Amino acid sequence: IFENPDDFSVKGGLKRMGEALDRGLVLVLSLWDDRLSHMKWLDSTVGGDGLNISKGKPGVERGPCSEDSGSPEELMAKHPKAFVRYGNISYGEIGSTYGPPAARIIDPAGERTLVMLVSIISASVCLAACAGIVVVSRLRAGRLQQLQKETCSCECEYAPYELGDASDDHVKPLAMSSDDHVRQLTPEPCAVE
């Protein structure tokens, strides 16, 4: 789709990547409107739009969104303030960052914790609505606790977000600002599946 060049080798491959990891990295995530494939590569069936990819082949069906969703013009017109919030990002050895669904307690003193708010021009509606949205609502004694995971139906944008009793002077204003955005995007209670 994107005629990807081998940028990995140009930048030094695994050797340079290992050196960079030793120095420490900051993870930045971003999404954008995709006018060629309408982000179907992320959350729908890749195959139309003259891409000559047959349905049923491995990798063609990527998610639950309809094949006619994701038009950048429609997204910008209907959802000009859409954004995505990333949280509870895990890192570690292969196979060590997932397991059965359960609340995880992250001790920031023992491991790095990334909590990000990423603004984008507009997002795929199903990406924002159908993806599992982790709600982190309490910060006590230096511990960030995941209390709740809510999944919205595609009828609404985001699950209600509660700040709870977060007390950290740096986290609280950021979370409150995010809470205001969520209230603007969710005029009615969200249907939680």
119 belongs to a structural domain: yes
**Residues forming a β-bridge with 84:** 118
User: What is the rounded CA–CA span in Å between residue 4 and residue 26?
Assistant: 24
1 belongs to a structural domain: no
Total domain count, the chain: 1
Cα atoms in the 13 Å half-sphere on the side-chain side of 12: 6
126 belongs to a structural domain: yes
CB 125 within 8 A of CB 155: no
**Would you state the pLDDT for residue 101?**
54
88 belongs to a structural domain: yes
When the pLDDT of each residue in the chain is averaged and rounded to a whole number, the result is: 58
User: pLDDT tens for residues 85-137?
Assistant: 777 777 766 677 766 655 444 444 433 333 322 222 223 333 333 333 333 32
138 belongs to a structural domain: yes
190 belongs to a structural domain: no
60 belongs to a structural domain: yes
> What's the domain range around 44?
7-95+103-185
**Would you state the pLDDT for residue 75?**
81
179 belongs to a structural domain: yes
